[in-house]
Structure 1
Amino acid sequence: MRPILPLLLPLVALAACAQPAPPLDATGLTEAELVQRLGVPTGSYEAEGRRFLTFEQQGGSGPSVTPSIGFGVGRFGGGWGSGTAFGTGIGLGFGGGGAPRSCTSTFELQQGRVIGVTRQGAGCG
C-alpha cells in the first residue's frame, strides 16, 4: 500500500487557495430584481430620497487544516549501552474549523435602482 500523504498534500494546498464567489454586480438593478437574486432583505430604511436594503449572508467557516512541526530530543540507556536520539515530525490537524464567516451587504437605491453597495465582514471576500 502506497503512502497516501503525498497525494493529500496537493489537495489540501488547493483547498486553502479557494476563493469565495465574486460579489454581485448589482448597479442598475431594480429593487425587485435585487430581491429576486438575493432573497428578502434583513433590513431596510429610507433617508434623503434614497432607500437602503441590507442583506446578511453566512458563509462557511475558516480553514480547518492546521500544519504543525515538532522537534524532539531524548536519551535512552541500560543494559548494553546508552545514547541520545533526535527527531522531527510534520503533522496536519483536522479540526472543526473556525467561526462562520458572515457578510453584510447594504445596497443603496435611488429612483428604484441600485446606485451603490457597501459590504462588511470577513465573508465578503
Structure 2
Amino acid sequence: MRSLPVLLLPLVLGACAVGPTLSQRLSAYIGRSEGELVSGMGVPVRSYETEGRRFLQFERRTTVAVSQPDPFYGYGYWRYRPWMNTPAYAELQCDITFALRNQRVESFTLNGEGC
C-alpha cells in the first residue's frame, strides 16, 4: 500500500505541466518559408515591404471570463445581488508580426495584452 503514493507521483506532476508558450510555438516558424507560415497561421491581416524585408501581421483574439466587483460589498452578505451570477467577459488581442527576408521567416514580435 505504500507504493501507491509513489505510483501516483508521476500523475500529479503531469497534471501540473503546462504546454509550450506562444513564443515557443511561434519560434518553430523561424527559418521556414512564407508559404509554410501562411499555411500554419492563416492569411495575414496586413503586410508591408521595405528595404528587402517583408512584414506579415496576424491578429489573435481570445475571450476570457473576468470577475465583476460587487458594488454593495460591506453592506451585508445576504443583500439581494442579482448580478452576482452574471458572467463578464473581456476580449484580449495579440498582434503577431513576422519579419521575412528572402521569403524566409527571420524573426517575430508580439504586441498586446493577450500575448
What TM-score, normalized to structure 2?
0.63
Structure 1 residue runs of 4 or more that deviate by more than 6 Å after TM superposition: none
Question: 1:50 pairs with 35, 50, 53, which one?
Answer: 53
Out of 100, 105, 108, the residue aligned to residue 96 of structure 2 is 105
- The AA in structure 1 aligned to 2:50 is A
TM-score (norm 1): 0.58
Q: Which structure has the larger Rg?
A: 1
Cα distance change of structure 1 residues 104 and 119 upon mapping to structure 2, 3 Å threshold: same
Gaps of 5+ in 2: 1-17
1:64, 1:37 → 2: CA distance?
A: 30
What SS does the aligned partner of 2:106 have? strand
Aligned mates of 2:42, 2:20 — CA distance in 1: 17
Task: Find the aligned partners of 2:98 and 2:69 in 1 and give their Cα distance.
Answer: 40
Q: Within 2, Cα distance between the matches of 1:21 and 1:94?
A: 33
Percent same amino acid among aligned pairs? 37
* Partner AA of 1:121 in structure 2: G
Write out aligned runs for 1:41-80 (5 A): 41-61=44-64, 63-66=65-68, 70-72=73-75
Q: Larger strand proportion, structure 1 or 2?
A: 1
Q: Which has the higher helix share?
A: 2
Any gaps of 5 or more consecutive residues in structure 1? 1-18, 73-86
